Amino acid sequence: MQKAIVVFVCLLMLALVVPVVSNSQSNAQSDNIGTPKFTTDSAVTTVPATSKTVPHWTSSFTYQGVTYPYTMVGTNPVTNSTTTLDVAIIPFDFVFANGDSLDATGKVSNVLGSPNFQNASYTSGITQFGDAVQRAEFWPAVSSASSAWHTLISPSPTVYPTQVIQVPQDQATLLVGSVSHRLFALMSVSWFSDRLHQAINQLHISSTTLPIILVYDTFLYQHSLSNCCILGYHGAFSSVNGNGNQQIQTFAFAAWTDPNIFPPGWADVLPLSHEISEWMNDPFIHNFVPPWQFPGIPGSCQGNLETGDPLEVLSHPDFPVTINGFTYHPQTEAILPWFSREVPSSAIGGAYSYPDTSKLTGPSQPCQ
């Protein structure tokens, strides 16, 4: 058995935080500690021409005379084949100077029982959540000649020993929610990112495997506590050697989130479902699309194929799924026709979002 990695440093400070929450997400039923959001982390500048990474395929769409290539995990839908990706779960246990800890170990079984890993029924098939979104996205192929096309993650991933990490006092703040009554931490994203990369490298995770760093009620801030709260991100980095054939390691981080810390629906595996779907649709953070505006927020724009981000500004972005008596809250995703501005959408039922097709009822709007 591998020993848990212990990073020796020290920590903590209890403090109050002034809430900084968008109007659309502010809710008296939550702690209102900040705006739940996501980001990316990639040092890969081009789509890798290597097999030393996750299986992937490339296609393109054209909008107003401009061709936009994209690369996704798995195989092209026309192949009618199934791809099953290896996954490694790496739980983090953050230990603070006062003896408190936030340990994700106890949430591993919940994660493995979630719709991210287990089958449930969707209009695109009985399958995992991420695969259901992909099949809906490419419904013309799936509903005709490629009914056996799937992009799956292993339902029995490797679970590594919990990584026990002592947190420096100046890198995190502990709080207790006024509504949730839960202990949670706000942590520096830059300091956390170093721990993430360290764990993946020291555990020698294969570049063909998706490592998922799992934390518990730990949310990240950038530069200051007022710029909170990142609940997950995915990314990719390459090895320094390889002469053009470097290994490309993709990865994801997600926080298991207790109810009522954030607005309704922002709970349990919502961050993980967000990141897995985005990883499937944009594994190397290199799928550029026509710049789009966040729904209802003029001037707030992005230009990439990050499927979860357009929904994060909407109320109730979750799509509840009950498995073995537990109701999970994976997130509805924007799908390719929304980004490509295809009218009408060729996705299942003419959808622009999935599984909740009512969230986005038309294509993305140009950045204003």
pLDDT, position 47: 73
Burial classification of residue 61, based on how many CB atoms lie within 10 Å of its CB (0-12 exposed, 13-18 middle, 19 or more buried): middle
What's the gap between Cα 311 and its chain centre?
Answer: 12
Element (H, E) at 109: helix 108-112
Whether residue 339 is contained in a domain is answered as yes
Structural domains in the chain (count)? 1
Averaged confidence pLDDT in the chain: 90
Averaged over 186-197, what is the pLDDT? 97
Whether residue 9 is contained in a domain is answered as no
Whole-angstrom distance, CA of residue 160 vs CA of residue 74: 24
119 and 112 in contact (C-beta within 8 Å)?
Answer: no
Whether residue 225 is contained in a domain is answered as yes
Task: Report residue 1's pLDDT band, with 50, 70 and 90 as the boundaries.
Answer: very low
| Residue 296 scores a pLDDT above 60 | yes
Domain carrying residue 51: 28-354
Whether residue 321 is contained in a domain is answered as yes
124 and 339 in contact (C-beta within 8 Å)?
Answer: no
Structure tokens at 81: 């084949």
96 and 218 in contact (C-beta within 8 Å)?
Answer: no
Residue-wise pLDDT for 208-229, tens only, equals: 999 999 999 999 999 999 999 9
pLDDT, position 8: 29
Whether residue 16 is contained in a domain is answered as no
Whether residue 364 is contained in a domain is answered as no
Averaged over 101-123, what is the pLDDT? 98
319 and 310 in contact (C-beta within 8 Å)?
Answer: no
128 and 118 in contact (C-beta within 8 Å)?
Answer: yes
Answer whether the bond into residue 355 is a cis peptide, omega within 30°: yes
Whether residue 5 is contained in a domain is answered as no
pLDDT, position 27: 55
- Give the residues across from 186 on adjacent strands: 173, 219
Q: Which residue has the tokens 């490509």?
A: 340
pLDDT, position 29: 85
Burial classification of residue 303, based on how many CB atoms lie within 10 Å of its CB (0-12 exposed, 13-18 middle, 19 or more buried): middle
Contacts of 70 (CB under 8 A, 6+ apart): 58, 59, 60, 61, 281, 282, 287, 289, 305, 336
| Residue 121 scores a pLDDT above 50 | yes
Whether residue 98 is contained in a domain is answered as yes
Task: Report residue 12's pLDDT band, with 50, 70 and 90 as the boundaries.
Answer: very low
31 and 177 in contact (C-beta within 8 Å)?
Answer: yes
Nearest to 250 by CA among 241, 239, 237: 237
pLDDT, position 273: 98
